[in-house]
Chain A
Amino acid sequence: MMCRRIHELLSAYIDGELSAEETFKIQAHLDRCGCCCTELESLRQTKRLLGELARQRPRAELEYLLVIEARRAQNRPPSPFDGLRRLADTPIRPRTALATAALSLAALWAATSQLGGPAEEPVGRTIVGQVPIYNEFGTLVGSYQFIAAATPAPRVRLPEPPPRTFMTEPGQPGLLTASWSSKPRPYQTRQISSGPYSPQSVRLDQRFLVSAE
């Protein structure tokens, strides 16, 4: 075999992904070719370096956020591109490829025909924590409900008149974003910008204090 052809097979040789016959031929060639041996060692070194890269660990709360965000996303209205995405993420069997493609195109047509309709983003479907709100007389007047979400800018809304302080209860970690509700009728709200909330994640199992502007 020519060296050029051998070179192309060396990566698969290193990985043990060649047939017995190919492996035998390469070994026989390597026994008498210094150039290919050098190439082999160089590729091995590259592979070894990659294998030694430090494992990158996610932050602790990511596991929880993935579950919550998946639930939340399921409550969104279906996207017109879902048919195509489903097709892209599914291994295609040749026998059914044509039928699948035709069905997906039909699904895409059906979905895009609804493009003009309302597509509001539902919020507050997945609640990971509740914060009771008390007035200055200690009476429970409502609660904030926090959802975990990936939206970048968290907002915290307070009822009018805003309570002087409120504290979170121990709960699950998550990102604080907008969404609270109260019964029997929604409060008038205004946004605060002060407080310990930041666009980064906050653990709800800490007790902290928030004051209105």
Chain B
Amino acid sequence: MTETTTLGRLAEQALARPKREFDKLVVRHHKQAYNIAYRLTGNHADAEDLTQEAFVRAFRFFDNYRRELPFENWLFRIMSNLFIDETRRRAKLRTQSIDAPLPGTETTLDLRDERAGPESTVLCGELDDQLQTALRQLPPDFQLAVILADVEGLSYDEIARAMGCSLGTVRSRLHRGRKLLRAKLTGFRQNG
């Protein structure tokens, strides 16, 4: 009986070990993941969804994670795939004005404003807003490369692993991304 209990306890501990490891990784990396998600999506609600979906998928396939590689590279790879998939899916969706009634009805959508309040908007500054807008207008591959390199400071090797592409592709996407971003910022200044 005692032996059975001990074995049961050992089995429980063995099963709990990957969960505890994952919990520590969440604590260590969720803030960076969230910042990337925010810069990719441009708002807190979508950033939270993207972060959550990335960690959920990471946990689901945790046995797939090769421990010799940094966890964050693998996580960013998952996040990159999710983001690009979602961007493509949204591009196919028909848009619906949030102020107009739903098609065929008189019902209008009642949506909460998920953006930050006016105080934080002022604090964040106009330049931050312009940069975020410009980032969101880049093609998703370019946007990812620029955020990982310039916002998060990852090396080309890390970005290549996160995006699943070659170093040459990273170099090209990053350079073209920066040039596009610069052109958009120049456009904002001239128009505004």
Of the 9-residue stretches B6-14, B22-30, B87-95, B97-105, which lies at the interface with chain A?
A: B22-30
B190 at the interface (CB under 8 A from A): no
Residues of B within 8 A of A70 (CB): 22, 26, 55-56, 58-60
Q: In the complex the two chains form, is B55's CB within 8 Å of A57's CB?
A: no
Residues of A within 8 A of B171 (CB): 11-12, 17
**How far does the alpha carbon of A18 sit from the alpha carbon of B147 in the complex, in Å?**
20
Number of A residues, CB within 8 Å of B: 40
Query: Which listed residue, A10, A50, A89, A90, touches B175 by the CB 8 Å rule?
Result: A10
Query: Which listed residue, B49, B57, B178, touches A11 by the CB 8 Å rule?
Result: B178
Residues of B within 8 A of A65 (CB): 52
Q: In the complex the two chains form, is A17's CB within 8 Å of B151's CB?
A: no
Residues of A within 8 A of B56 (CB): 66, 69-70, 73
Q: Quick one: given A86-B61, A90-B64, are A8 and B150 in contact (CB under 8 Å)? A: no
Residues of A within 8 A of B174 (CB): 11-12, 15
Max count, chain B CB within 10 A of own CB: residue among A11, A63, A74: A11
What are the interface flags for B159-192 relative to A under an 8 Å C-beta threshold, 1 for contact and 0 otherwise?
0010010010001101100110110010000000
Query: Which listed residue, B26, B55, B153, touches A51 by the CB 8 Å rule?
Result: B153
Q: In the complex the two chains form, is A57's CB within 8 Å of B31's CB?
A: yes
Residues of A within 8 A of B57 (CB): 85, 89
Nearest neighbor of A63 in chain B, beta-carbon distance: B30
Nearest neighbor of B58 in chain A, beta-carbon distance: A70
Chain A contact residues: helix, strand, loop or mixed: helix
**How far does the alpha carbon of A89 sit from the alpha carbon of B172 in the complex, in Å?**
22
**How far does the alpha carbon of A71 sit from the alpha carbon of B59 in the complex, in Å?**
8
**How far does the alpha carbon of A110 sit from the alpha carbon of B74 in the complex, in Å?**
26
Max count, chain B CB within 10 A of own CB: residue among A59, A63, A92, A199: A63
Q: In the complex the two chains form, is A89's CB within 8 Å of B151's CB?
A: no
Number of B residues, CB within 8 Å of A: 56
B136 at the interface (CB under 8 A from A): no
Residues of B within 8 A of A59 (CB): 48
* Smallest CB separation, B69 vs chain A (Å): 8
Residues of B within 8 A of A88 (CB): 81, 164
Q: In the complex the two chains form, is A17's CB within 8 Å of B150's CB?
A: no
Residues of A within 8 A of B69 (CB): 91
* Smallest CB separation, A19 vs chain B (Å): 11
Nearest neighbor of B59 in chain A, beta-carbon distance: A70
Q: In the complex the two chains form, is B77's CB within 8 Å of A89's CB?
A: yes
Please name 15 pairs of A and B residues whose Cβ atoms are closer than 8 Å in the assembled complex, sorted by A: A8-B172, A11-B178, A12-B156, A17-B167, A46-B150, A46-B181, A46-B182, A55-B31, A58-B34, A58-B47, A63-B26, A65-B52, A73-B60, A82-B60, A199-B112
Q: Name B's A-contacting residues (CB within 8 A).
A: 19, 22-23, 26-27, 30-31, 34-35, 38-39, 44, 47-49, 51-52, 55-61, 64, 69, 74, 77-78, 81, 112, 124, 127-128, 131-132, 146-147, 149-151, 153, 155-156, 161, 164, 167, 171-172, 174-175, 178-179, 181-182, 185
